[in-house]
Amino acid sequence: MGLVFMSGFEWGTNREFDQVGGSVVTSQKRSGNYSADIGNGQWLHKVLPQPLTEVYIQFAYRTGWGSTAVFFVISKGGTDLVSISKDGNYRLQVCSGYGGTVYCTGVTPIQQNVWYLIELHFKMADAGGIIELRVDGNLEATFSGDTKPGADASFDKLRWGATTGATSFNLDDVVVFDTAGEVNNGWPGGLKVVLLKPNADGGSVQWEPTPTGSHFACVDEVPVSATDYLKAGTADLLEVLGLEDLPAEAQSVKAVRLDFWGLKGSIQPPQNLQLGGRIGGNDYLSADKALPLAQGLVSHALEQNPVGGNWSVSAVNGMEFLAKSRT
Ligand SMILES: [Ca+2]
Ligand SMILES: [Ca+2]
């Protein structure tokens, strides 16, 4: 797989996560326009598409409070396996379970009102387990040995939040890689998660816009609004939309995810969707993906350029977005 999940909260919502708490704000962000704002008793949960035993996770963290409470947890079902909190000097520490036995402690005191890029490499095993913690790209703490505190042999959920005291923080640029695949199988290394919105109608506009007029203008707003929308009444209608370019600072691209917010009717086709990119005049469409009954996010991740090789800034900037209705 490689890329398991990413979110920079750039849709202006935290609904890319599976259970949500807190809000999304523009007042703080590490990149783009938004970050999540998470307060006492609020948690953002991400359920992994499949259980894993090893993972690389990055997230950007900023707090205005001198809290030492647990703010990140890896779990299996309802069992917490490993967590990150702070010691009395506000240095990060990686603990067993939820704030249990300390595996290792960082060296950098986490200051208030500063963004930090935190990365965790976690390999779960009775023997040969690995914990490595990085802050802003620097290795801060390591542990090797038994990282499997109980009977669970894998993990399937990540969550960010807090339960005690004045613990509010902002979260941004969440990236999760596993160790499978040719690419995206190690440290994310400080990636920024950006959103490229539609900004032009492409060479095929077969869906019906409401209101009539330009198609892209129905689907270019953040957060998503159903006041204006595109609709496909039958199968195999292709919509092509131009996209914004990457920010000028972008020098490389590690993955592209094509996102579609939408829903289906209860019985009538189309019930499915293909997502893809038009690159160099060729269309690269996904397999059929089921549409939800209530508005939700359907995504298709491309970790490498479907033309071949890794992504480049120019390839992404030259790509158009494809959505095709399917029975
Ligand atoms: Ca962001
Ligand atoms: Ca809309």
Ligand 1 mean position, distance from CA 323 (Å) = 25
Task: Provide the pLDDT for residue 163.
Answer: 86
* Side chain identity, residue 186: G
Query: What residue spans of the chain are helical by DSSP H?
Result: 313-317
Please check whether residue 156 is in contact with residue 49, taking contact to mean a CB–CB distance below 8 angstroms.
Answer: no
The residue length of the chain stands at 327
Task: Provide the pLDDT for residue 202.
Answer: 97
Ligand 1 mean position, distance from CA 283 (Å) = 29
Ligand 1 mean position, distance from CA 89 (Å) = 28
- Ion ligand 1 neighbours, Cβ < 5 Å: 8-9, 29, 32, 34, 172
d(CA 166, CA 103): 25
Ligand 1 mean position, distance from CA 209 (Å) = 29
Please check whether residue 258 is in contact with residue 316, taking contact to mean a CB–CB distance below 8 angstroms.
Answer: no
* Distances from the Cα of 136 to the Cα of 83, 115, 143, 192, angstroms: 19, 9, 19, 13
What is the DSSP code string of 263-278?
A: ---SSSSP-EEEEEEE
Residue 19 gets which letter from DSSP?
B
Contacts of 27 (CB under 8 A, 6+ apart): none
Task: Provide the pLDDT for residue 73.
Answer: 98
Please check whether residue 126 is in contact with residue 151, taking contact to mean a CB–CB distance below 8 angstroms.
Answer: no
Ligand 2 mean position, distance from CA 224 (Å) = 6
* Side chain identity, residue 168: S
d(CA 53, CA 121): 11
Ligand 1 mean position, distance from CA 135 (Å) = 18
Which residue reads 């893809």 in tokens?
276
Ligand with the closest atom to the CA of 195: 1
d(CA 142, CA 134): 9
Ligand 1 mean position, distance from CA 285 (Å) = 27
* Side chain identity, residue 206: Q
Ligand with the closest atom to the CA of 224: 2
Task: Provide the pLDDT for residue 267.
Answer: 87
Taking 70 as the pLDDT cut, the residues of the chain under it are none
Ligand with the closest atom to the CA of 7: 1
Domains, in order of start, for the chain? 3-177 (2.60.120.200), 198-326 (2.60.120)
Task: Provide the pLDDT for residue 201.
Answer: 98
Paired with 63 in beta bridges are 169
Ligand with the closest atom to the CA of 191: 1
Its sign, for the CA torsion 30, 36, 39, 45, is negative
